[in-house]
Chain A
Amino acid sequence: MESYVSMYRTMCLIRRYEDRMAEIYTEGKSPLFSIAAGPVPGEMHLAAGQEPVAVGVMAHVRPDDAVTAPHRPHHLAIAKGVDLRRMTAEIFGRTTGLSHGKGGHMHLFDPSVHFSCSGIVGAGFPPAVGAALAFKRQGSGRVAVAFAGEGAANQGTFHESLNLAALWKAPVLFVIEDNHYAISVPKAQSTAIVDNSDRARSYGIPGVSLRGNDVLAISEAAHEAISRAREGQGPTLLEVETTRLYGHFQGDAEAYLHTGEKAEWRQHDPIVRFRNYLLEHHLLSMADDAAIQQDVATLVEDAIAYARQSPEPLPEDAWTDVFIEG
């Protein structure tokens, strides 16, 4: 388990990364916004505000544990230990990227740390169950963790996967990141009950709902669930309330938000709250904090510079990797 300060540092790294991505994403897109323009084209779903769930859970996830992530993956990838340079190069579509520019921001694959993601909502649950089955057969004590938004908990794959995992007693943790919205649709309009953890019960597995976007509470709950899984006691569902500080995607006008809703989320910034906690408990000094901010900024700028300096692919590179060659 990581120290509090190291968890804080990872949260800061994620925040810095997302804030910089938000800036870079606008490059080449003004004065007229075009999704196709700039060094980072396509859709961009940022996870600033959702650091606690990534870091709190991943504090108990080992490099050889498997993680599946949804279309909003950066915080999870960073917390899982995906190489920041190669991930950034992928987002820039460069040859040095995780997928040499074929995948992009919604399709980050890093088998070296057993990380994958998908742009299809709900797609990550079944593969996590399968990975968990493999780990169980191998008797390795490894676990799989599937992350997805609260919107994804209404997808058939969620329900089928919970049942299957329960049946197989698979060492898997399902984590629902409840950021209140699925694009424009609020949870109350998509989900007939308040807490998805209640649904866990109907599949015979433990379900926990956590409010407050609090990294320490999340870490504690994840610790318990992952320990259970490692000990062969099967799956758990963890639903974590969190906040999406940017739009659904960059360029989202967010006309569907209530007035003041975003301001309130920003006021309860989980990073600020965790910093205050660490300062109050003398686990962090102002000087430590300054050093951490400096350190994460350097890391992020290094990754961005690496990506920018990396070569673009050649047109004919599009033809490879459809099948295993040779």
Chain B
Amino acid sequence: MSTTTARKLTMARAISEAIGQEMAHDPNVLVWGEDVGVYGGIFGATQGLYAQFGEDRVLDTPISESAFIGAAIGASAEGLRPIVELMFVDFFGVAMDQIYNHLAKNHYMSGGSVRHPVVLMTAIGGGYSDAAQHSQTLYSLFAHVPGLKVVVPSNAYDAKGLMISAIRDDNPVMYFFHKGLLGLGWMPSDDWAEVHVPEDRYEIPFGQAQVVGTGTDLSIITIGAMVPKAMKARKLLQPAGIAVEVVDLRTLVPLDRKAIVETVMKTHRALIVDEDYRSFGMSGEIAAILAEEALDYLEAPVRRLAVPDIPIPYSRILEQSAIPSVEAITQAVHALME
């Protein structure tokens, strides 16, 4: 990540800029979804696009997700490159068949002859009392299904590059932006995500994790909004003489297994921090990779910090106990260092 502050953008702005630039270069790129037009997307990911490209390329849809997400399948098979937004990841249940039985599998079932260059983008995450149907991350659910790439940026620079890669990718890509990183003003947002973003079009390749903070004692392997939280914990732990390395996975599919193993070869301790449910998801997958490929390097058991298999509760106090916090990360690091 660049350290210059010359052109700081919010993550929301970085995403809409990436989409706008790709739309300007490729007339086959269209955007559709609920409130993506005049409103500019509930989370601002399509801000300004309607004014720039008009209603032929930025389409507000009815609340008919099976239809408009499924439509991306046919549209992409016939030459378009749709970017489809569905506000919150929590809502995907209503359209899941189109996604996990068709979008994800058609390339395989057709023996490689059918392609779906589709980006499905959505907001994830809690922390502002939106309760069980508006606060989930659920990226592991999609990563579980073969055929979907899964992208979860942690900052504006990555968000732009990963979005451009997603649009240019001929595979279906699930693109998850965390509400607490977007810089929306009306929603608490981590300043850490607002960084320099070059004006030019650049790609960030999928499957390349980034070490965002180096350390020698312990590795925190994480993604999305947990990256800045891990960085805060890292800073808090420095006075105690604990040097934490923070690895931002950036994409779950493809997953940078090499980076996961390499950081543990260096630090010999791993804490996986995940805002998704604990069981059967990202944290378990990474723990399994470490067991398979790095067991000899581990000096302590792998630990996981994730949402403890409960729906996200509404009340602030309850929610704070469900979603991993900087404090919880710090405590988990201490426990692991003992």
A interface residues with partner B (beta carbon < 8 Å): 33-36, 41-43, 90, 93-94, 99, 101-104, 106-107, 118-122, 151-152, 154-157, 182-185, 189-191, 251, 255-256, 312-319, 322
Would you call A156 and B66 a contact (CB within 8 A)? yes
Closest 5 pairs (CB-CB, A-B): A104-B314, A93-B315, A101-B315, A36-B128, A315-B321
- Given A183-B35, A312-B315, answer yes or no on A319-B308 (Cβ-Cβ < 8 Å): yes
Main secondary structure of the interface of A (DSSP, over half): loop
Would you call A93 and B316 a contact (CB within 8 A)? yes
- Given A190-B62, A255-B38, answer yes or no on A107-B132 (Cβ-Cβ < 8 Å): yes
Which of A107, A155, A183 is close to B131, meaning CB atoms less than 8 Å apart? A107
> For the complex, is B42 an interface residue (Cβ under 8 Å from A)?
yes
B interface residues with partner A (beta carbon < 8 Å): 34-35, 37-39, 42, 60-67, 90-91, 93-94, 127-134, 185-188, 308-311, 313-322
Cα distance A156–B187 when bound, in Å?
31
Would you call B317 and A120 a contact (CB within 8 A)? no
Q: How far is the CB of B190 from chain A (nearest CB, A)?
A: 13
With both beta carbons as reference points, the residue of chain A lying nearest to B133 in the complex is identified as A119
Cα distance A299–B186 when bound, in Å?
32
Cα distance A94–B35 when bound, in Å?
33
Q: How far is the CB of A27 from chain B (nearest CB, A)?
A: 14
Cα distance A107–B134 when bound, in Å?
11
**What are the residues of chain B within 8 A of A119 when measuring CB–CB?**
90, 131, 133-134
With both beta carbons as reference points, the residue of chain A lying nearest to B67 in the complex is identified as A156
Would you call B317 and A93 a contact (CB within 8 A)? yes
Q: How far is the CB of A155 from chain B (nearest CB, A)?
A: 5
Would you call B314 and A42 a contact (CB within 8 A)? yes
Which of A120, A154, A255 is close to B91, meaning CB atoms less than 8 Å apart? A120
Would you call A36 and B129 a contact (CB within 8 A)? yes
- Given A156-B64, A183-B35, answer yes or no on A318-B133 (Cβ-Cβ < 8 Å): no
Would you call B129 and A93 a contact (CB within 8 A)? yes
Cα distance A317–B318 when bound, in Å?
7
Cα distance A312–B316 when bound, in Å?
9
Which of B62, B130, B131 is close to A185, meaning CB atoms less than 8 Å apart? B62
Q: How far is the CB of A244 from chain B (nearest CB, A)?
A: 15
Would you call A102 and B186 a contact (CB within 8 A)? no
Cα distance A191–B316 when bound, in Å?
38
**What are the residues of chain A within 8 A of B321 when measuring CB–CB?**
315-316, 318
Would you call A183 and B39 a contact (CB within 8 A)? yes
**What are the residues of chain A within 8 A of B65 when measuring CB–CB?**
155
With both beta carbons as reference points, the residue of chain A lying nearest to B130 in the complex is identified as A42
Would you call A107 and B39 a contact (CB within 8 A)? no
19 A-B contacts, Cβ less than 8 Å apart? A34-B188, A35-B186, A35-B188, A41-B129, A42-B130, A42-B314, A90-B314, A101-B318, A102-B311, A102-B315, A121-B91, A122-B63, A151-B62, A184-B60, A255-B39, A312-B315, A312-B317, A313-B317, A318-B319
Cα distance A317–B185 when bound, in Å?
31
Cα distance A139–B66 when bound, in Å?
36
Q: How far is the CB of A210 from chain B (nearest CB, A)?
A: 22
Cα distance A156–B83 when bound, in Å?
22
- Given A35-B186, A151-B62, A156-B64, answer yes or no on A322-B311 (Cβ-Cβ < 8 Å): yes
**What are the residues of chain A within 8 A of B310 when measuring CB–CB?**
318-319, 322
**What are the residues of chain A within 8 A of B308 when measuring CB–CB?**
319
- Given A120-B91, A122-B94, A318-B313, answer yes or no on A152-B129 (Cβ-Cβ < 8 Å): no
- Given A101-B314, A120-B133, A314-B317, answer yes or no on A184-B38 (Cβ-Cβ < 8 Å): yes
With both beta carbons as reference points, the residue of chain A lying nearest to B186 in the complex is identified as A33
Cα distance A104–B130 when bound, in Å?
8
Cα distance A176–B130 when bound, in Å?
25
Which of A33, A101, A121, A184 is close to B63, meaning CB atoms less than 8 Å apart? A121
Would you call B313 and A102 a contact (CB within 8 A)? yes
Q: How far is the CB of A151 from chain B (nearest CB, A)?
A: 5
**What are the residues of chain B within 8 A of A312 when measuring CB–CB?**
315, 317
Q: How far is the CB of A270 from chain B (nearest CB, A)?
A: 25
Cα distance A79–B13 when bound, in Å?
43
Would you call A315 and B320 a contact (CB within 8 A)? yes
**What are the residues of chain B within 8 A of A322 when measuring CB–CB?**
309-311
**What are the residues of chain A within 8 A of B63 when measuring CB–CB?**
121-122, 151-152, 154-155, 182, 190
Would you call A155 and B64 a contact (CB within 8 A)? yes
Q: How far is the CB of B59 from chain A (nearest CB, A)?
A: 10
Q: How far is the CB of A87 from chain B (nearest CB, A)?
A: 13
Cα distance A138–B203 when bound, in Å?
62
Q: How far is the CB of B225 from chain A (nearest CB, A)?
A: 13
Q: How far is the CB of A175 from chain B (nearest CB, A)?
A: 17
Cα distance A185–B129 when bound, in Å?
25
